[in-house]
Structure 1
Amino acid sequence: MTAELKQYMDERFDRIETATRLGAKEVLTIEEAALLTGYKVKGLYELTSTKRIPHYKKNGRLY
Structure 2
Amino acid sequence: MESENNIIDLVQNKQRNMLDYVLSQPELKQDFEEAMSFIGKPEQEWTPNDATKWLTEYENNLYRENE
TM-score calculated relative to the size of structure 2: 0.42
TM-score calculated relative to the size of structure 1: 0.44
Which structure's relative contact order is higher, taking Cα pairs within 8 Å and 6+ residues apart?
Answer: 2
